[in-house]
């Protein structure tokens, strides 16, 4: 048998959809688009066709690019804010509670549907009808809800019961779907089938029309005809970060995460990380020092520069300017989103094409497009991506995100494709996985699933399971108010990594978020 490719994802159906396409002769882009479309059915608390995201893809022959289809701020053409459908919802995480904002005025302009179609047009080769087939099948006939997805749905149950349009998707039996129960979404299946078999432009127009109809100012939302007519995905040049013999390619401004990952790699190289015994007190202290530096950079005006001076971020991660440049301004870090309702897929095919795709629906706004079976995002209601306050950004603004889909190359040939969910912890999760691979040279599964930490300002969170007692105590001594997690936690993200090393395809899924790896073979 020969391998056609490898896919790493956070849910079994998602991974199987991508592997099916690889076996049918599709490339990495075909596989990742098919997997993501399937995820909009089977990972429905985390991603939807009314969410947003970004994908890095390419090969040594084609080069690499980012297709950015994150959300934009609605309200074009409005002279004043209408009466808004916008309200707080409290979510209980056990260790803590958090307030999210939902309602129709929490919905930003979503890019996921048009972004996936654009990505497929740029890099795919199989016809769209084959790409949508797995998603259509599970939407029509149903799928068994995984324990991980059931757990996440249970956390945000107040949102999933908020309106009849969303309750119809998540609670067909009168309660939020549980692990092992069968869930279907026939309207979404019909829409995807029509999109692939009919006039795609006509179906897109139907989608945008439904969005305006249900989320317009007259309905308590902010989405206008001007907004949907103006939206288009943006193709960007990746940030390029040298690290030893590797080059790390990741998401550029206006996204926040890639630059912070790059800054962390620069700091790690300056500190010569990699000599310490892995998981020792010295290793944990060194990584915490890097994370503290990354946090300080973000607190020193970084978020403002994402829009006002993006070129300086490219210079920072390339080593052209030092971190002292950032020692001005005030923090725009926002609050921690403990759920981090984001999901990631990585693919590398046998021909040497790699793709890494991260998407989110936030927690969802509690309202859906009823004719299409699509839960709409609540990006305008998340504090951590609205640090200046709610409904403050000008209409048409591209929203910032911590999403950091990443490809690592040697001489332009991809060796790793990775990314993570996890809100603000995305940057720490990806940075630590990269350091584990590139500086400490750990085996792939260990690099992804080793104990993890996150630092924000003067707050430290860390997983003590798997750490020597001396290492955990050293972190406590340096940060006396540190929060320990007795077991690996989804709080620390969900890194899924595909790899191609010495011609061999492999992968690692993050067990914190149900990670799954499938090698597609003939």
Q: Tens digits of per-residue pLDDT, 296-350?
A: 888 888 888 888 888 888 888 877 655 444 443 334 444 556 555 789 999 999 9
Q: Using CA atoms, how far apart are residues 193 and 186, in angstroms rounded to an integer?
A: 10
Cis peptide before 110 (omega within 30 of 0): no
Which pLDDT score is estimated for 328? 37
Which pLDDT score is estimated for 426? 95
- The per-residue DSSP string of 210-251 comes to HHHHHHSGGGT----HHHHHH---EEEPPEEEEETTEEEEE-
Q: Using CA atoms, how far apart are residues 83 and 77, in angstroms rounded to an integer?
A: 16
**Distance from first CA to last CA of the chain, Å, rounded?**
6
Dihedral Cα 294, 300, 305, 308, nearest 10 deg: 180
Which pLDDT score is estimated for 332? 41
Whole-prediction pTM: 0.95
pLDDT tens readout for residues 418-451: 999 988 899 999 999 999 999 999 999 999 999 9
Which pLDDT score is estimated for 273? 95
pLDDT tens readout for residues 339-378: 557 899 999 999 999 999 999 999 999 999 999 999 999 9
Residues labelled catalytic: 342
Which pLDDT score is estimated for 320? 62
CA atoms within 13 A on the CB side of 350: 16
What fold does the segment set 236-338+403-496 form as a domain? 3.60.20
Structure tokens that stand for 11 in this block? 């849910």
Q: What is the 3-state secondary structure (H, E, C) of 87-112?
A: EEEEEECCCCEEEEEECHHHCCECCH
CB environment 276-287: b (16+ within 10 A), e (fewer): bebbebebbebb
| Residue segments in the chain with a per-residue pLDDT below the cut of 50 | 323-334
Which pLDDT score is estimated for 330? 38
Structure tokens that stand for 287 in this block? 């990584």
């Amino acid at each position: 048998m020969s391998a056609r490719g490898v896919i790493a994802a956070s849910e079994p159906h998602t991974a199987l959809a991508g592997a099916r396409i690889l076996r049918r002769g599709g490339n990495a882009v075909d596989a990742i688009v098919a997997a993501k479309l399937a995820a909009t059915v089977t990972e429905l608390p985390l991603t939807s066709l009314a969410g947003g995201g970004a994908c890095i893809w390419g090969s040594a022959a084609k080069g690499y690019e980012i297709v950015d289809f994150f959300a934009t701020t609605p309200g074009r053409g409005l002279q004043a804010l209408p009466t808004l459908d916008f309200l707080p919802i409290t979510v209980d995480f056990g260790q803590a509670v958090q307030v999210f904002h939902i309602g129709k005025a929490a919905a930003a302009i979503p890019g996921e549907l048009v972004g996936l179609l654009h990505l497929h047009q740029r890099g795919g080769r199989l016809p769209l009808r084959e790409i949508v087939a797995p998603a259509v099948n599970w939407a029509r006939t149903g799928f068994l809800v995984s324990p991980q997805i059931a757990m996440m749905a249970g956390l945000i149950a107040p949102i999933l019961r908020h309106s009849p349009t969303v309750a119809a998707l998540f609670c067909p039996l009168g309660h939020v779907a549980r692990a092992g129960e069968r869930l279907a979404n026939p309207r979404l299946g019909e829409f995807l089938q029509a999109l692939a078999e009919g006039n795609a432009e006509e179906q897109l127009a139907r989608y945008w029309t439904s969005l305006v109809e249900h989320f317009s100012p007259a309905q308590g939302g902010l989405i206008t005809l001007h907004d949907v007519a103006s939206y288009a995905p943006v193709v960007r040049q990746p940030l390029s970060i040298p690290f030893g013999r590797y080059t790390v390619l990741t998401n550029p401004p206006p996204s926040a995460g890639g630059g912070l990952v790059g800054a962390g790699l620069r700091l790690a190289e300056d500190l010569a990380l990699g000599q310490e015994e892995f998981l020792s007190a010295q290793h944990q202290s060194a990584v915490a020092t890097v994370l503290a530096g990354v946090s300080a950079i973000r607190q020193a005006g970084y978020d403002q520069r994402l829009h006002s001076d993006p070129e300086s971020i490219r210079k920072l991660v390339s080593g052209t300017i030092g971190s002292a440049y950032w020692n001005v301004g005030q923090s725009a870090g926002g609050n921690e989103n403990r759920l981090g309702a984001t999901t990631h897929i990585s693919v590398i095919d046998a021909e040497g094409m790699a793709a890494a795709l991260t998407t989110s629906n936030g927690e969802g706004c509690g309202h859906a497009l009823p004719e299409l079976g699509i839960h709409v995002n609540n990006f305008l209601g998340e504090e951590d991506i609205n640090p200046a306050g709610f409904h403050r950004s000008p209409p048409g603004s591209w929203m910032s995100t911590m999403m950091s889909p990443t490809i690592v190359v040697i001489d332009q040939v991809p060796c790793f494709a990775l990314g993570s969910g996890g809100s603000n912890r995305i940057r720490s999760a990806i940075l630590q996985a990269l350091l584990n691979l590139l500086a400490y040279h750990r085996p792939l599964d260990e690099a992804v699933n080793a104990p993890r930490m996150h630092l924000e300002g003067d707050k430290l969170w860390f997983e003590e399971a798997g750490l020597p007692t001396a290492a955990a105590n050293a972190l406590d001594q340096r940060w006396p108010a540190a929060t320990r997690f007795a077991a690996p936690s989804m709080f620390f993200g969900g890194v899924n990594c595909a790899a191609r090393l010495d011609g061999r395809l492999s992968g690692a899924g993050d067990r914190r978020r149900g990670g799954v790896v499938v090698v597609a073979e003939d």
